[in-house]
Amino acid sequence: MSDALSRFRAHDYPIPEKMLAWQLHGAGFEHLGLVGRPELVDVPRPGRMEVLMRVDAVGLCFSDVKLIRAGNEHPRIRGRDLVADPTRPGHEVSLTLAAVGDGVDMDAEIGDRFVIQANIRWKGEDVSFGYVIPGGLSQYVLLDERAIAGDHGNYLIPVSEQVGLVEAALVEPWSCIEGANRIPQRTEMKAGGARVVVTIGGGDAPGGVTDGAGELEVVSSGEIAAYGGAVENLGAAPDDVVIVGRPTGELCGIVLDSLADGGILCLLSCDGVDGRTQVDVGRIHYRDIRIVGSTGADVNAAYTCNARQDTLGGGAALFPGSAGPMGMMHVQRAIEAPRPPRVVVVTDLSAERLAYAERLLKPVGQARGVEYHSVNPGEMDGAEAFDGKLDELSGGRGYDDIVVCAPVGAVITGAAKHCAPGCVVNIFAGVPLGTMSEVDLGEVATKSVKYTGASGSAIEDIVTILDKIAAGKLNTRMSLGTVGGMNQGLEGLEGVSKGRFYGKCVLFPWIEEMPLATPREVAGRVDGLGDLLDGGDIWTTAAEEFFVERMAGRALGT
C-alpha cells in the first residue's frame, strides 16, 4: 500500500478550507450549482454534537432528479426557500470520519468509514439526508445531532475496511430493494380505528367485523351515495372498510380513495367484483393503502390470507420495466436468494438495456438453475402477442411475484393480468399520487392476490445488506454502470433523468475532474485496471484498490 493510499484511507491530512458542492437553489437543473459547475464553499468545522465526514463516493438516484425538478415544492422540503437556504442532493454515500465536535458519543476514530440511513427522523419530523439535511454531492458533509442522535439513534452505520467505496455507496439503494421485499403489513383491523362496514343486499355484519372499532358506520347497501353518507357521518377518513358480498368496481375505487393513510379495504364473502377498478396506485406506494379479501366470512382469515413478503422460491417472477439500475437489483436479489424463482422474466422497452441486464444477470441465474428471459413489448406484434408470450413463459399459470419498476399506470394494469394464485404485486416504482391503473380487485378475494409497494428503507435494511456483503452473499458492485468526478455531477444527474446509464452512476467527489465512463472505459484510461475487472465489465475490490491508489493524491492535493 502506497503512502498516499494509506493517508487517504486514514484521512491523515489537513482538512481543506474550501470544497466543491452542488447546491440546489431552486427548481430545475439550471438552479443546480453555479452556471453548470459545482460551487466553491467553505468546509464547515464541527461544533458541539456535530461530525464532519469526507464523501468518498456518492450514487446518483432518480429521487435526486425529482428533488431538482420540484425544488421548493418537493414534499420533503416544502416551504423552504432554496434561494436563501439551498440544499444538496445525494443520499447514497460512502463516508469517512474527518473531524468530531464536542459532546459526540461515538465509538469511532478519524478515518473510520460509514454509510448513512437517509430517512432521518428528528422529534417525529422527516429531516432526510439529501433533502432537509444537505446531502453528499459535495466533498464533505456536516452532520449534527439529528443524524447521530435522532429518533432511531445514530443513523450512521459503520462499514468495515473490506467493503469498497463503490460497494458502500450502493448499500443505500440496495437497502431500498431489501426493504421493498419485507414491507410491514397490518394483519388485523385497527383497534379503535374509524371503520365502515358495507353489507351488500342487507343482513348483519359477520362476526368480529365491528369488534374493537372506534368510530363505526354500518351500511346495508352497495350504493355509492350510501357509502358516501356513511363516511360523512363518520367525520374522519376510515382506517378499515369491510365490504360483504359482491361490490362494483366503481364502489371499490371510491372506497380506496376515501381511506386514511395506512387504510385497508377488505372484501369479505366475495366471489368477485363487477367490473374493473380504477386504483390510485400512487396511494399504494406512498400512502400504504392495502386491499385484502376472502371468499369466506372470516375477517381474520381475510387479513392474513397472503402475508408473504419475499419472492416465492421455485415460482415464476415477472419484472416489468426492470432493465434499469434498480430493476436489475430486484432481479439480482431474486436470483441470488437462498431459494430463487424457477423462472425470471424481465421486460423493458429498451433493447440495449435488456441486452445489458441479460449479459450480466443471465449467467448468475443459470448457475442457480433459474430460467432467465428478456421480453421487449415494443418488438412484439401488439399487446395480445406480448401477453401471450408472458403466459407462455409462466407455463400458463401466471406469476407468483410481479415487481413493477416502471412508474407507469398502464404497465401496472398490464402486469396485473398475469397473477397466479397468491401473487404478490409489488409496485416499487415511485408512481406519482393520482396515477391510475385498472385492476380486477376480485382476484384479491378469489385468488389471494396482494398489492403492495414502497421504496424506502430502515436502518435494519442497511445492516442486512452490509451483512450480506460481508458474508459474500451479495455483490453490490455488479450494479455499477458508470463512474465520474465531482465536476460531472450535473451531467450525471441529467443522464439519470434521461435513462442514459445502464447501471448505477457513482461519483468520487474527491476527484475534481473525471469524465463519466463505464468500468471498461476507465480501464482503457488506467493501465493495468482492465485485468482486475470481472468479465471486463464488473467493478471488483482489487480494481477499486488499484484505482484509488493511483488517484489518492487528488484528495491529498499532491
Q: Are 331 and 343 in contact (CB under 8 A)?
A: no
Over residues 36-90, the pLDDT tens digits come to 999 999 999 999 999 999 999 999 999 999 999 999 989 888 789 999 999 999 9
Nearest CA-CA partner of 54 in 94, 90, 82: 94
Contacting residues for 499 by C-beta, under 8 A, at least 6 apart: 324, 350, 353
Q: Are 220 and 199 in contact (CB under 8 A)?
A: yes
What class, spelled out in words, does domain 316-431 have in CATH?
alpha beta
Highest mean pLDDT: which range of 74-78, 306-310, 360-364: 360-364
Which segments of 410-471 are extended strands (E)? 419-427, 436-439, 450-452
Average pLDDT over residues 110-131: 95
Can you give the pLDDT at residue 87?
97
Average pLDDT over residues 114-119: 96
Distance from C-alpha of 5 to C-alpha of 549, rounded to nearest angstrom: 5
Which amino acid type is present at position 413?
Answer: T
Contacting residues for 232 by C-beta, under 8 A, at least 6 apart: none
| Whether the predicted pLDDT of 554 surpasses 90 | no
User: How many other CB atoms are found less than 10 A from the CB of residue 45?
Assistant: 12
Over residues 386-428, the pLDDT tens digits come to 999 999 999 999 999 999 999 899 999 999 999 999 999 999 9
Which amino acid type is present at position 188?
Answer: E
Within its chain, how far is the Cα of 306 from the centroid?
Answer: 22
**What are 5's three cell numbers?**
493510499
Distance from C-alpha of 238 to C-alpha of 217, rounded to nearest angstrom: 10
CATH superfamily of the 3-181+459-556 domain: Medium-chain alcohol dehydrogenases, catalytic domain (3.90.180.10)
Over residues 182-225, the pLDDT tens digits come to 888 899 999 999 999 999 987 778 888 999 999 999 999 899 99
Q: What is the mean pLDDT of the chain?
A: 94
Contacting residues for 479 by C-beta, under 8 A, at least 6 apart: 170, 173, 174, 325, 328, 329, 332, 503, 504
**pLDDT: which is higher, 134 or 206:** 134
CATH 3.40.50 fits 195-304, yes or no: yes
Nearest CA-CA partner of 331 in 308, 365, 377: 365
**In the structure, what pLDDT confidence band is assigned to residue 432 with cuts at 50, 70 and 90?**
confident
Residues of the chain with CATH 3.90.180.10: 3-181+459-556
Distance from C-alpha of 181 to C-alpha of 502, rounded to nearest angstrom: 23
Contacting residues for 526 by C-beta, under 8 A, at least 6 apart: 546, 547, 550
| Whether the predicted pLDDT of 558 surpasses 70 | no
Average pLDDT over residues 109-124: 95
Can you give the pLDDT at residue 227?
95
Distance from C-alpha of 341 to C-alpha of 316, rounded to nearest angstrom: 6
Over residues 139-161, the pLDDT tens digits come to 999 999 999 999 999 999 999 98
Can you give the pLDDT at residue 90?
97
Distance from C-alpha of 527 to C-alpha of 497, rounded to nearest angstrom: 32
Can you give the pLDDT at residue 311?
95
Phi-psi sector, 423: left (phi>0), alpha (psi -120 to 50), beta: beta
Can you give the pLDDT at residue 61?
94
Residues of the chain with CATH 3.40.50.720: 316-431
> Rounded to two decimals, what is the model's pTM?
0.93
With H, G, I as helix, E, B as strand and everything else as coil, classify residue 30: helix
| Whether the predicted pLDDT of 553 surpasses 90 | no
**What are 294's three cell numbers?**
376472502
| Whether the predicted pLDDT of 1 surpasses 70 | no
Give me the percent of the chain exceeding a pLDDT of 90. Answer: 86
